Structure 1
Amino acid sequence: MSTTYQIPATTHLGEVSLKISNLDRSILFYTKVVGLKLLTRQDQVATLTADGLHSLLRLEEVSNSITLPERTHAGLYHFAILLPDRKSLGLAVRNLVASGIDIGQGDHLVSEAFYISDPDLNGIEIYADRPRDTWRRDADNNYIMATDPVDVQSLFDLSADAVWSGLPAGTVIGHVHFHVRSLEEARSFYSGILGFDIVGNFANMSALFVSAGGYHHHLGLNIWAGVNAPVNPANATGIDYFTIVYTHAHEAEQAAQRLSQSGITVTHDGGVWYATDPQNIGIRLIAEA
């Protein structure tokens, strides 16, 4: 197997699936607080959308579920909802403030971000990117990022004349960020096999960021829950799977073949390939419809 494989530059992320403990409660949270819209609901599964057509988030209620304390296990740190512009971000933050929920924030230089948790302690980032031509790299080719205070007032001013009607069309899953068992193991899997480029080797933060096409990160990987942190039991709330979206079917198939050749179990069903990463997080590989 080639060691120089690079993931196609147009690759991006799609639907994220979460295991939750109470579907009615989570639907209410994700529609009223986050601003997604209910797309489908059947039995204990619901999908939510921004554009009314495509699912960004899948929720599945798990019987007899447990919710583990944060930073005690490998799995989801947060999934990140990317808004198309600052005005949309300002509106979304206005709604978060009105909801009374606890909100974290960070100006990361490449983006402006706000952080919340859902009722099952699943972390959520809601953010907007700065123009790509303003992103800078250091001498080691890592993106220069920070966690500075966000200019919230300017976001409020920008959105002052707009009416909140939920997250707009053009909203996507921007990235996912995981607690992993080992950074080297995660690097080997996501960069070595799947071909994501390393864009942030932040040893001082015990974190690694990887992406396709020069994005600031599609995947954040950290060991903040501890090296060799235990994976989630099957009945724990948290992430079920995330989706890697390729432009062409042959690209997804090539990625699936690389996983299989590396000893990873891969299954295939109707144009979708399924695998799991070393944290037992599910991965769906699909091509653009």
Structure 2
Amino acid sequence: MTTETSYALTRPAYVDQSHLVVTDLPLVSSFYQSMLGLGVIEKSANGEVLGVNGTPLLALTTGKDVRVAPRNAAGLFHTAFLMPDRTELARWLRQAAHHNVVLEGASDHLVSEAIYLSDPEGNGIEIYADRAHDQWKFHQDGKVEMATLRLDLQALYNSAPQDTWNGMADGTAIGHIHLQVGNIPEADAFYRDILGLKLMASYPGASFFATGDYHHHVAANIWNSRGAGTRADGMTGLSDYTLRFNDKASLDKAVAKIDELEIKSEKRNGGVFLHDPWGIGLTLAA
């Protein structure tokens, strides 16, 4: 069965992988395998790469100098795993309920339906499914209509097939990554003005950025982290992530802007690696 590529991944750029630093690698890896249904793709002495059907999505690493990040540090708000469709979201919810997974919230965002939880070290997770793009409402300025409404979890659960859950379905991806940052104007200046992402929505204390009229590939908020400075080396949580470009012209434009502003960067893993204003690593790759 061929899985249709999610709309989020067909845009000029999308989030490809995420990398978390953890203190207890076996515990955290076990959670993502058993509760989220990711599979181990690679193992090393100090890390693992997890994903779906051989496609890497999440790298976990640890080390002897790792220290726990304070809750108000810049870094990860949540990694958002995008299901291929609503049926897979319902199927995941059904198995989560049967395994007593602790949920922290559930919302209807108009463009998507989302369920929230955290891993054992407090890294936020969103599991979501998009509504069809032709159902989204756009304003005259090009921004997308989003909201935070109550999601009927029971109705979603009831819609799940009564079959065996065998882990995340082929086609599951990181649909977006939501960051904690120190201030919003600086986030807008970096993600919109330098990287070239479009500002798709603004909430009090948060901005949502995307390419190709997706609702958001990257979000940034100050809800826990107002005034946060640069992340320290060895801090737990989000080390870095990859923004993958389908459109090389968009990548070249972003790299040219980085060079023009003399932002420190380096060639790494076939892409350009740099840090955002809060020390969160980011690889731009074709």
**1:192 lines up with 2:210 in the alignment:** no
SS at match of 1:216: coil
> Residues of 2 paired with 1:17 and 1:238: CA distance?
8
Q: How far did 1:94 drift? A: 1.6
Aligned positions of 1:224-263 closer than 5 A: 224-249=223-248, 251-263=250-262
> Residues of 2 paired with 1:76 and 1:226: CA distance?
10
Amino acid at match of 1:136: K
Amino acid at match of 1:38: V
Output the TM-score relative to the length of structure 2.
0.91
Equivalent residue number for residue 206 of structure 1: 205
Contact kept? 1:67, 1:121, Cα under 8 Å: no
Equivalent residue number for residue 84 of structure 1: 84
Which deviations, in whole Å up to 9, do the C-alpha atoms of 1:53-85 show, x marking residues without a partner?
x21000001324332343x11111111000010
Which deviations, in whole Å up to 9, do the C-alpha atoms of 1:61-113 show, x marking residues without a partner?
1324332343x111111110000101100111122222323212111111010
> Residues of 2 paired with 1:143 and 1:259: CA distance?
28
Which deviations, in whole Å up to 9, do the C-alpha atoms of 1:21-40 show, x marking residues without a partner?
11111111000011111111
> Residues of 1 paired with 2:272 and 2:225: CA distance?
30
Contact kept? 1:62, 1:237, Cα under 8 Å: no
**1:181 lines up with 2:219 in the alignment:** no
Q: How far did 1:14 drift? A: 0.2
Contact kept? 1:183, 1:222, Cα under 8 Å: yes
Contact kept? 2:12, 2:250, Cα under 8 Å: no
SS at match of 1:146: coil
**1:25 lines up with 2:54 in the alignment:** no
Contact kept? 1:75, 1:231, Cα under 8 Å: no
The answer to which of 141-150 and 124-133 deviates more is 141-150
Q: How far did 1:140 drift? A: 4.8
> Residues of 2 paired with 1:46 and 1:259: CA distance?
31
> Residues of 1 paired with 2:210 and 2:249: CA distance?
20
Counterparts in 2 of 1:222 and 1:282: CA distance versus 1, 3 Å: same
Amino acid at match of 1:183: I
> Residues of 1 paired with 2:145 and 2:263: CA distance?
34
Which deviations, in whole Å up to 9, do the C-alpha atoms of 1:149-174 show, x marking residues without a partner?
21223322322333200001111110
Q: How far did 1:193 drift? A: 0.8
> Residues of 2 paired with 1:22 and 1:34: CA distance?
17
SS at match of 2:244: strand
Amino acid at match of 2:36: V
SS at match of 1:34: coil
> Residues of 2 paired with 1:167 and 1:19: CA distance?
22
> Residues of 1 paired with 2:59 and 2:131: CA distance?
28
Counterparts in 2 of 1:37 and 1:25: CA distance versus 1, 3 Å: same
> Residues of 2 paired with 1:15 and 1:248: CA distance?
18
Counting aligned pairs with the same residue, the percent is 33
SS at match of 1:93: helix
Amino acid at match of 1:275: L
Cα-Cα RMSD: 1.8
> Residues of 2 paired with 1:200 and 1:249: CA distance?
25
Output the TM-score relative to the length of structure 1.
0.90
Contact kept? 2:91, 2:157, Cα under 8 Å: yes
Equivalent residue number for residue 266 of structure 1: 265
Contact kept? 1:63, 1:235, Cα under 8 Å: no
How many equivalent pairs are there?
A: 276
Amino acid at match of 1:28: S
